[in-house]
Structure 1
Amino acid sequence: MNDTKSTIKSYWDRRSSTFDLSPGHTLSSKKEEDAWKALFLDKIGPGDKRVLDVGVGTGFLSIMLAEIGYSVVGVDLSEEMIKNARKKMDARGLKVRLEVGDAEALPFEDASFDGVVNRAVLWTLPNPKKALAEWKRVLKPGGTLCFFLHGPHSHGLSHRLTKQFTNLIILARERRNPWKSLYDSVDLPMGGGVESSVVIDLLKKAGYAGVRSDPLKEIGQMKSKNMPWYYRISSQKSMQYCYSCRKS
């Protein structure tokens, strides 16, 4: 493991204990949960599907995917994230295979999965192009890639000032330093969000078919509505997108 990957792994190992304290990392309501599940059924389809969750974290997507009835495998570079995800799976009686793995060098054979999913992973990677090629490699022909990513964050003066106030509250309530982010430690091409057109172009160049970029408006509104007030006032106002495509 090179120095960059070691830094990324160490960051997420540290964040694992407080990760779920951030409201955006957990479900805000049963209605939101139903919306996520409906989205996956639409994108991946019903039935006995084998789905890979890349960057599983504490299990946000994998839990819902397993409850739908998919056969789920989750990988993450962080062993501590895997441990927390496993506790959640065990508490719910869900059978999900979890293992440590690199999103840019997956430990699976070619054409192993009907679907590959992830949320907010591409921005954490030093080589997004390599990751997209890997995700395509492990997909079966006709398999679906479905992932979620925010657009660029706001950098206006008003937002920066409000964000500083919010960070003070986060420091006290979530027991983490919000000023110390991953992309302050390593050079990440997509750190801080990325324009939808850039992601679409990368997917097409990687050889995916049927590339779509859909604003995640409904789920975003549900999350925002149920977030603590100090998150709402400093909302980045950046849209989250659902990217979906197929391995032709």
Structure 2
Amino acid sequence: MSDVAERRNYDLRDEIKAYWSERAATFDLSPGHEIFSEEERAAWHRLFRRHLGDGAGRPALDLASGTGVVSHLLDDLGFKVTGLDWAEPMLERARRKAKDRRRSISFRLGDAENTMEPDGRYDVVVNRHLVWTLVDPPAAFREWLRVMKPGGRLLIIDGDFVNPGRLERFFSALNAWSQRVGLTRPDAPAQPREMLETHRSILSRVHFSQGARSQAVVELLRAAGFADIEVDTDLGEIHRTQAKNWSLFKGLARKNQHRYAIRASKPLDAA
């Protein structure tokens, strides 16, 4: 195949996959990705219980599962978890982590927008920080509805990472200044400039390039057929536990981001 043909066939989805494959090596080093304290773990458990209840052996699908952080939280609560990710380096780390922790979580290679999972298999579908990267959210939401049982619940944890509010901009600027003058340590792990540029390039071309505001996500979920949709912005407990791993200013900036959990249900009379 010629170089021209290869470039033509390398689309945005391939770029996203390659980006997260490269991020796999340092993914668990970042607060906000891996769990860094039992206090934070308990805060996540309370969020999941609030919206999903206890697992009781119910099948759950963790989409874009990465290194398995959310999968392990669901497993803690008694769900029978399948993690799906299309970045093999992420899956390698997820499988190793599950083996080390003696967890019976199944991790599979797959696309969150086209899962290839059977109809009506899961009581629960969960994802964290996936929606903002979706190329075709309407099709993805219809796919998620398809793999859920009638009465099943979807939980989306995400945010608008494009449009910082006034307070977020203020505290982010203070954080950058304090690092520059040596008052606080640099954020770790720092991404190479090339990776930051790749991230910005991808973000400028996905569906939510103008920011994944919760109401926009809700409207697409409703159009896909979901019902009983609720937006939960009460994530302060989680943010407080994570902030202990950041500088004061970065923690305040994170607190003022538009982050949310959206719970939605598949109607009982849906096919």
TM, length-normalised to structure 2: 0.82
Partner of 1:128: 137
Measure the CA separation in 2 of the matches of 1:76 and 1:102.
6
Name the CA shift for 1:136/1:119 in 2 (closer, same or farther; >3 Å). Answer: same
Q: Do residues 180 (structure 1) and 180 (structure 2) align? A: no
Q: Distance in 2 between matches of 1:192 and 1:119?
A: 19
* Aligned counterpart for 1:41 among listed residues 37, 42, 49: 49
Alpha-carbon distance in structure 1 between the residues aligned to 2:70 and 2:127 = 7
SS in 1 for 2:155: strand
Residue in structure 1 matched with residue 33 of structure 2 by the alignment: 25
Is the CA contact 2:60–2:126 (under 8 Å) kept in the aligned structure 1? yes
Q: Distance in 1 between matches of 2:247 and 2:219?
A: 35
C-alpha separation in 1, matches of 2:73 and 2:32: 16
Secondary structure of the corresponding residue to residue 99 of structure 1: strand
Deviations 1:115-138 (A, max 9, x none): 000101011111111111111110
Match of 1:111 among 120, 123, 127: 120
Q: Distance in 2 between matches of 1:95 and 1:214?
A: 30
**TM-superposition CA deviations, 1:133-158 (whole Å, max 9, x none):** 11111000100000101135417675
Segment of structure 1 superposing worse, 231-240 or 6-15: 231-240
Q: Does the C-alpha gap of structure 1 residues 230 and 82 become closer, same or farther in structure 2, counting only changes over 3 Å?
A: farther
Match of 2:264 in 1: 245
Aligned pairs (5 A) from 1:1-248: 3-46=11-54, 47-152=56-161, 153-154=163-164, 158=170, 161-162=173-174, 169-170=186-187, 173-177=188-192, 179-185=196-202, 187-191=205-209, 193-215=211-233, 216-229=235-248, 231-232=250-251, 235=254, 237-248=256-267
**8 Å Cα contact 1:162-1:233 kept in structure 2:** no
Conservation of the 8 A alpha-carbon contact between 1:154 and 1:236: no
Q: Secondary structure at the match of 1:144?
A: strand
CA distance in 1, matches of 2:60, 2:50: 14
- Note the aligned Cα RMSD (angstroms): 2.4
| Runs of 4+ residues over 6 Å off in structure 1 | none
Shift of 1:217: 2.3
- CA contact under 8 A between 2:119 and 2:148: conserved in structure 1? yes
Identity of aligned residues (%): 32
Q: Secondary structure at the match of 1:39?
A: helix
d(CA) in 1 for partners of 2:175 and 2:244?
18
Q: Indicate if the aligned counterparts of 1:120 and 1:149 stay in contact, CA closer than 8 A.
A: yes
With structure 1 as the length reference, what TM-score do the two structures score?
0.89
**C-alpha deviations, 1:188-217, integer Å up to 9, x for none?**
122474222111111111110100000122
Between the aligned partners of 2:253 and 2:192, the Cα distance in structure 1 is 16
How far apart are residue 236 of structure 1 and its match?
7.3
Unaligned runs of 5+ residues in structure 1 are: none
Q: Is the 8 A contact 2:67 2:94 kept in 1?
A: yes
- Choose 179-188 or 26-35, whichever is displaced more: 179-188
Q: Distance in 2 between matches of 1:137 and 1:163?
A: 44
The structure number with the bigger radius of gyration is 2
